[in-house]
Structure 1
Amino acid sequence: MPAATDTIELSIVMPCLNEAETLATCIDKANGYLERSGVVGEVVVADNGSTDGSQEIARAHGARVVDVPAKGYGSALLGGIEAARGTYVIMGDADDSYDFSNLDAFVERLRAGDQLVMGNRFRGGIAEGAMPPLHKYLGNPVLSWVGRVLFRSPIGDFHCGLRGFHRQSMLDLHLQTTGMEFASEVVVKSTLGGLRVTEVPTTLDKDGRSRPPHLRSWRDGWRHLRFLLIFSPRWLFLIPGTVAFLFGLIGTLALAFGPVVFGDVGFDLSSQVYLAALTVVGYQSVLFAILTKIYAQHEGFRIPRSRNFDRLERRISLESGALLGLALFLVGLAIAIWQFAVWAAADFGPLEPGTTARTAVLAALFMMLGAQTVMAGMFLGVLKVGLRKE
């Protein structure tokens, strides 16, 4: 342990939940690295409620134990990071899958000014049996690719558990998530926040525990994906939804006046029905993008804002949504009433099927869009209710 008068440069933080089998090995490797390298540092074990004696093992091997009552991988790490005394933090799992005795590359990049240094297991080497095939060939590559595309991140391994960062820079990001998606939040917020982000090769060995890992593939994979979606409504929902809405609406309106022919290809009633459905789906996607961004900001996720969105957010409310939705609904209702009047004028006899159906599709479309807008406005009202948070 460093002397009380020493300035601690590096805190090595390990989240812990019943890691008695491997914790001592990890702490010994970390302390061995500090002794060999001459880095003034400490080992912090962020215990998340272990019942197997992990706390006593950690103290016996020279680590400082921080009790974190709030459950979850992210909660444990946040507690450890907040309690750390070092300028830099390197975090890693306490299952002996990461080599805490070889942290030189991380410290070198941190000292050079990088604010987040990610390990890349695919570049450094994955031992046989260390990563399930589902994670190695599908989960990690796909989620990392999604993160790179949506956020223009340079990181090739979003979910590597061994990573280093400038402690205060990370605290300034106001990290929020408490579960496994914390791994994605660190990378995404660092990228969006303009931090200097790099990665170095690291290795992954087989988990040293005899029990199954805490990770649940499908549940935690979905939580990572859900987090990425919350942070990327523009490219995932807003732009595709706008294109679908405009294409569908223009097509539906054009076919309301009769068939449309392009060369040898003709479009009529069935095409109008599908285009109306596309309009509804696109409109719902646009609404979802707007509501998701407002929700994310309301919950404290610091997403980059734009002036256009700020102006839009100031103008939309439960009342404005209700008025716009009512107007759209009344347009559809007016078309339906006009169609009913035409039917009444014909003594409620048979009408020309094609013309009648095309008009009915148009009326139904506007009424659906109106109802969607009203409900979105009501949901927005729920989001904007001021609540006291503990």
Structure 2
Amino acid sequence: MIDVVLPCLDEAAALPWVLTRMPAGHRPIVVDNGSTDGSAEIAEAHGALVVHEPRRGFGAACHAGLLAATADIVCFMDADASLDPADLPEVVRLLAAGLPGADPDADRLGADLVLGRRRPVSFRAWPPHARLGNALVARRAGLRDLGPMRAARRTRLLDLNLTDRRSGYPLEMVLRARAQGWRIAETDVAYHPRTGRSKVTGTVRGTLRAVRDMRRVLETV
């Protein structure tokens, strides 16, 4: 079993598609971060484990999901239908040692943290201001993309002692992992236009707020 953490704030329109495409053996953990559109009820109706995190913030939701997870391997991905859960097995495949019966390449590549490198399927999927902000931060972290779809082993993630509870959480994970000598790999995943209204990258203000959070992490980690 693999746990998949999906931070969620008002994603009622996207959740049915996301949850029905979850691969076998992957348990969705939807972390409701204060939704008012019935997201939690929809997630439960589709068989997800629902965790309620009242403290607002992307990192707060992600970390609540990590603490609720019990599987050896934990994945993270957005709940807005911009990423396809069908891509998760390829991300997991590249982890060091892999799963029983995994592809031999998993041992050869030996990744401790795998990130899905987003490949937009259309111009609308990734607004220019969001792509530029991501590129600037990702370059500082030694990556091509600070992808939100990722996988690692649960106990090692907990050992990173992540403290950011805002948009800097994904970056802090990468920086602390690199500081501890983790092997980090990227693999291509399709990036679709999100369903519903974006709270972050869909607006210039949201993107600037996320970049500010990440800059703070760069200065402190």
Structure 1 residue 127: Cα displacement: 2.3
Q: What is the match of residue 143 of structure 1?
A: 137
**Secondary structure of 2:85's partner?**
coil
Counterpart of 2:208? 218
5 Å matches for 1:16-95? 16-30=8-22, 33-34=23-24, 40-95=25-80
Q: Which residue pairs with 1:188 in the alignment?
A: 175
Q: Give structure 1 regions of 4+ aligned residues with deviation exceeding 3 angstroms.
A: none
The question of whether the paired residues in 1 share the 8 Å contact of 2:200 and 2:207 is answered with no
1:120 aligns with 2:114: no
Contact conserved, 2:10 with 2:37, CA < 8 A, in 1?
yes
Question: Residue in 1 aligned with 2:126?
Answer: 131
Question: Residue deviations 1:289-344, cap 9 Å, x none?
Answer: xxxxxxxxxxxxxxxxxxxxxxxxxxxxxxxxxxxxxxxxxxxxxxxxxxxxxxxx
How do 1:349-388 residues align onto structure 2 when only pairs under 5 Å count? none
As a proportion of its length, which structure holds more helix? 1
The answer on whether the counterparts of 1:41 and 1:86 sit within 8 Å (CA) in structure 2 is: no
Deviations 1:101-147 (A, max 9, x none): 222211211213532101111xx4442211111122x2122111122
* Separation of aligned partners in 1, 2:57 and 2:198: 17
SS in 2 for 1:176: coil
Determine the structure 2 residue equivalent to 1:157: 145
The 2-side partners of 1:188 and 1:228 are apart by: 8
Give the SS at the match of 1:129. Answer: helix
Q: Distance in 1 between matches of 2:54 and 2:130?
A: 29
Conservation of the 8 A alpha-carbon contact between 1:181 and 1:223: yes
C-alpha contact (below 8 Å) 2:200/2:210 kept by paired residues:
no
Alpha-carbon displacement from aligned partner over 1:20-76 (angstroms, at most 9, x marks no partner): 11111111111xx21xxxxx3311101112121111100110111011122210000
* Ranges in structure 2 where 5+ consecutive residues have no aligned partner: 99-105
Contact 2:120 2:126 (8 Å CA) reproduced: no
Q: Could you give the per-residue CA deviations for residues 184-239 of structure 1, whole angstroms, max 9, x where no partner exists?
A: 10110110011221111111100111x243440112112112211223xxxxxxxx
> TM-score when scaled to structure 1?
0.51
Q: Distance in 2 between matches of 1:134 and 1:71?
A: 24
Letter matched to residue 64 of structure 1 = L
Between Structure 1 and Structure 2, which shows a larger proportion of strand residues?
2
Evaluate the alpha carbon distance shift between residue 165 and residue 105 of structure 1 in structure 2; reply closer, same or farther with a 3 A threshold: same
1:103 is paired with a residue whose SS is helix
Match of 2:158?
171
1:106 aligns with 2:100: no
Q: Select the structure with the greater relative contact order (CA < 8 A; seq sep ≥ 6).
A: 2
Structure 2 length-normalised TM: 0.88
One-letter code of the match for 1:61? H
The percent identity for this pair of structures is: 34
Structure 1: stretches of 5+ with no match in the other structure: 1-8, 35-39, 149-154, 232-390
- Equivalenced residue count is 205
CA distance in 1, matches of 2:182, 2:70: 21
SS at match of 1:66: strand
